[in-house]
Structure 1
Amino acid sequence: MIYRPLILTMIFLTSGQVLSQPSSTPVFVAEVKRVEWVEPIEALGTLQADENVIITSTVTEKVTRINFEDGDRVTTGDLLLEMDASEEQALLSEERSRLSEAELQIRRLNPLIAKGSASESALDEQVLKKQTAQARMEAIQAQIRQRRILAPFDGIIGQRNISVGALVQPGTVVTTIDDDLTMKLDFSVPARFLSLLTPHSEVTGTTAAWPNEVFRGSLSSVNSRIDPVTRSISVRAILPNPDQKLRPGQLMRVRLLPPPRSALVIPEEALMSRGRQEFVRRITTKDKRTVATQVAVTIGARLQGDVEILAGLAEGDQVITHGNIRLRPGAVVEVKAVQADDNQLVDLLAQPRSEELTP
């Protein structure tokens, strides 16, 4: 009998605590916004010169003269190397003599034929000799040109691989030439980005050799075929290289910026997942109360803390970013602050309460 009133008092206090619980949950929200969305495409690529060639010999002959050193810059038509052509020069002189003799005989026969003192067949024979000598001279001159290697385009010479006096054979590598004032950057991207690969899109690249420098260029071409194994497509960009800092074969980290598109976005912290389904808590008004409604959404790309919304929300909707833990769908909530683009949770907590914001 002594303890019964005490027990009743405890039950009364407990009931009082339940009745005094808050009727709404404080939350922070963000507005669904429509922005210009640029989804960068990142990849690894390899550089090559805009024009490049391996200089090789096409004949078997001895080298008599070399007109370049490692790293020299050359222009189109510069003589790089000469090989022994003394035998061909002698044959060319011989054919010149035959040509001169044939032309002399033609000049003698023409007036004789006019007088009827010589036959047409004699003239035809000399004309044939002249044409034969001219054809042989052209063939010998071609052989002489094969023994003189010229620069095919403007560029920088690589390392020299032969010396004067060396006997070169067809396929012997003499050196390399690269037109490095413009570089080609080849890389592969997933085929799902095919619709974003438009000509002249901006491309930026970085390399470990120049860690503090960004090289800029533009997309020049997209391969006509998709790799059926990797489901990727080869892409080529053009990068100006006026300072010759970039070298063929260099590895670059590529960042391709396709044209911007309009997209609905929300902060990433507003997104929740259950299995393969993504959803958010949207703020709605019901019976003059602010409640949280669970909405399934379809998401697109993610970028720098934002998520693209493809379906499920409209521009201007408000979604809960902080306060979703233990919050059930349909629960009454109290909006404490609206998150701006650069707000962090610490900034939101430092904002005045909603009643303090009301004048």
Structure 2
Amino acid sequence: MKIRYIVYIAIALIIGYLVYNKLHGDNKKNSTEQGGGGGKNTKGGKKGGPVPVMVQIVKDTVINTTIDITGTIDPNERVNLISQTAGNITAINFTEGARVTKGQVLVKVYDQDLQATLKQNEYQITLAKQNEFRNRTLLEKEAVSRQEYETSLSEYNTLRAQADVTRAQIARTIIRAPFSGIIGLRNVSPGGYLSPSTSIATLVSTNPMKVTFNIPERYRSLVKNGSKITFNTAGSRKNFTAIVYAIDPAIDPASRTVNVRARAANPNNEITAGGFAKINLILEKSPRTIMVPTQCVVPDLKSSKVFIARNDTAYAVNVKTDNRTDTQIEVTEGLKIGDSIIISGIIQMRPKVPLKIVKVLH
């Protein structure tokens, strides 16, 4: 009896499953057929309708080709002051960190022995000159031989040359500023012994300053004497300008770069020597250039193309491109001023596709 009830229950479950599957299967099929038909109709509607797009009117654009590089800042002139002679320092005539002028006496070295030698030479020159004059007079009267006269003349000239040597030695005991500038910290003291290997101080000329930097080889033809650069330093938020005045004629074979040097005015000493310069270099300015959004340009096997809108219809135009920025690309051929270039819906664009212009950018 119990087995019979189990069989009845199993048969009922099977029949219920078949009925449920029949009813829901038919509904799903009908829904699919209806959905498929609707999809075809919708697809057909999209295919035949205009594509909504935004367009941009092509116009002239000023484009600057710039690169950001780093450089070093150097003084216009810099020299390590040393003496050409040895001796005790008798005077120091400058203040550390002060401005000095060209020709100003900075240090004086003992020269009393040289002064005495010069005075002795001058006495000997006076006597030799008198002797030369006397022998010249006697030679005219044929009272002395020409050999005697030439001997006295040679003695006179020799003493004059010795005096010139002594004067040169005395001049070397005076250290002067070779140019106007700011003198640094001194390394000597009054009374100390100064030798040619001793550094006295460093003299720098800080106005103007030199900015030296390297540019890639491919930009060499775009940089010329007179080119303007803008830079700033870590010690100041101010932007400074400099003018290129020298370009190395050779390319560094290791880095493939060219050394360039510019001169920056520094009347207020705002630029510090030895610092780094963050440089913005304008390489080229094209006043009549067509720039379009990068996404507008569709690459092709042989060229690139863009789509323009004309009479609410899309047309493909082959173009040639050149410089790029982060968001734009330069078009050198294929477009003209006033064209309406399509900037949205590019993936749906095909030649002769009908358009619905929703926005125009100028």
Q: Which TM-score band applies after superposition, normalised by the shorter structure?
A: 0.7 to 0.9
Cα distance per residue 1:8-58 (max 9 Å; x no partner): 655554544444447222121223333333212332111222222221222
Mapped partners of 1:6, 1:117: distance in 2: 152
- 1:79 equivalenced with 2:130 (yes/no): no
User: Among 183, 186, 193, which residue is 2:209 paired with?
Assistant: 183
Query: Normalization by structure 1: what TM-score?
Result: 0.81
Regions of 4+ moved over 6 Å: none
Tell me which moved more, 51-60 or 155-164.
51-60
Match of 1:327 in 2: 348
Equivalent residue letter for 1:53: V
Equivalent residue letter for 2:329: V
Q: Which runs of 5+ in 1 are unaligned?
A: 341-359
User: Among 52, 60, 68, which residue is 1:34 paired with?
Assistant: 60
User: Among 297, 313, 319, which residue is 1:290 paired with?
Assistant: 313
Which structure shows the higher helix fraction?
2
User: Among 291, 298, 309, which residue is 2:331 paired with?
Assistant: 309
Cα distance per residue 1:176-233 (max 9 Å; x no partner): 222211111111111211221122122211111111x111222212211111222211
- 1:141 equivalenced with 2:162 (yes/no): no
- 1:198 equivalenced with 2:216 (yes/no): no
Q: CA offset at residue 100 of structure 1?
A: 1.3
Q: CA, structure 1 residues 104+12, in 2 after alignment: closer, same or farther (shift >3 Å)?
A: closer
**Preserved contact between residue 50 and residue 182 of structure 1 (Cα < 8 Å):** yes
How many pairs were matched up?
334
Q: Please tell me whether Structure 1 or Structure 2 has the larger radius of gyration of its CA atoms.
A: 2
Match of 1:357 in 2: none
Match of 1:353 in 2: none
**Preserved contact between residue 281 and residue 329 of structure 1 (Cα < 8 Å):** no
Query: Normalization by structure 2: what TM-score?
Result: 0.81
**Preserved contact between residue 41 and residue 255 of structure 1 (Cα < 8 Å):** yes
Provide the alpha-carbon RMSD of the alignment.
3.0
Q: CA offset at residue 172 of structure 1?
A: 2.1
Match of 2:323 in 1: 300
User: Among 90, 97, 109, which residue is 2:116 paired with?
Assistant: 90
Q: CA offset at residue 115 of structure 1?
A: 4.8
**Preserved contact between residue 213 and residue 259 of structure 2 (Cα < 8 Å):** yes
Match of 1:352 in 2: none
**Preserved contact between residue 304 and residue 318 of structure 2 (Cα < 8 Å):** yes
**1:10-29 correspondence to structure 2 within 5 Å:** 12-21=37-46, 23-29=49-55
**Preserved contact between residue 292 and residue 329 of structure 2 (Cα < 8 Å):** yes
Equivalent residue letter for 1:265: M
Q: Which runs of 5+ in 2 are unaligned?
A: 1-21
Equivalent residue letter for 2:254: V
